[in-house]
Structure 1
């Protein structure tokens, strides 16, 4: 097994499990789990990236870290977090149709509450298309949205952390 994969999969798996647990916890607290899970990911991803890349540098690679090593390890970590989180949320929503319907109704209510603003800024056509798409939304859509919104900040944070932790000499 590649040293990068071996050093990073633990951090990605644990981070992804934390995101799924946060989704469940936020639901139990009565908070919209999709929004809060996304925000929790913005907090969690940089922590796991920093710890994982630093672990790779100090424990696996003898104290050295090139930018490309940091980007590779970071990519593996945030991709694993995103995959576990997205799949976990998708499975939870498949197993709990009532939770899926709650999330769907919540999103429809939010759209309707903001109708005036949306129509003013984007036009009635955009509102109608969005409304129709929300009516056809599936559990997979919510899981894949979570995946995407963990990948995007993951890339951003990986670049920054790889630059900060880069060390080309002992």
Structure 2
């Protein structure tokens, strides 16, 4: 496990830093940073997973990679990316309450703008519950959402990349 961590942590740290930087850049550009940070993560995570698992296979494990080794290395990479991104976003939102309020207001406006559609499809109770939960939303909720939406695709991409890069013979 130690060899896998030593080979993987660099890719997780760099990927997480890229996610936090993208959050800041999207905010500075006036774009909803929460949505585009997640979208950017869907592009960034498979790239760092592929490079990291391939690095582990070629440089650390003598060109061999079992499915379980690829899954372990990938888990370390996407978990670090998600943790650093989530913690970074939480810190940014704690430092900048105005950004947090802006994001919260955007989400409430979006919900209110789609009220008719939501009520038609899900019912008024569902809309009211969602509205009340948005009013109670905290900076930690935003960061946790980002974390979760980096873990889920990370697992999916790790499975695929571990299968593609698997090599049990030289």
TM-score by length of 2: 0.99
> Which of structure 1's runs of 4+ aligned residues deviate more than 3 A?
none
- Separation of aligned partners in 1, 2:24 and 2:98: 14
Does 2:162 match 1:149?
Answer: no
Instruction: Deviation per CA, 1:68-118: give whole Å up to 9, x if none.
Output: 000000000000000000000000000000000000000000000000110
Gaps of 5+ in 2: none
Shift of 1:63: 0.2
Tell me, what secondary structure is at the counterpart of 1:137?
A: coil
Partner of 1:63: 63
Gaps of 5+ in 1: none
Partner of 2:120: 120
Partner of 1:132: 132
Alpha-carbon RMSD across the aligned residues, in angstroms, is: 0.6
- Separation of aligned partners in 2, 1:56 and 1:99: 39
Partner of 1:35: 35
| Number of residue pairs the alignment of both structures matches | 170
Partner of 2:53: 53
TM-score by length of 1: 0.99
- Separation of aligned partners in 1, 2:86 and 2:43: 17
Partner of 2:11: 11
Partner of 2:159: 159
Partner of 1:78: 78
Tell me, what secondary structure is at the counterpart of 2:84?
A: helix
Shift of 1:133: 0.4
Partner of 1:107: 107
- Separation of aligned partners in 1, 2:93 and 2:35: 15
- Separation of aligned partners in 2, 1:150 and 1:131: 25
Tell me, what secondary structure is at the counterpart of 1:31?
A: coil
- Separation of aligned partners in 1, 2:17 and 2:68: 27
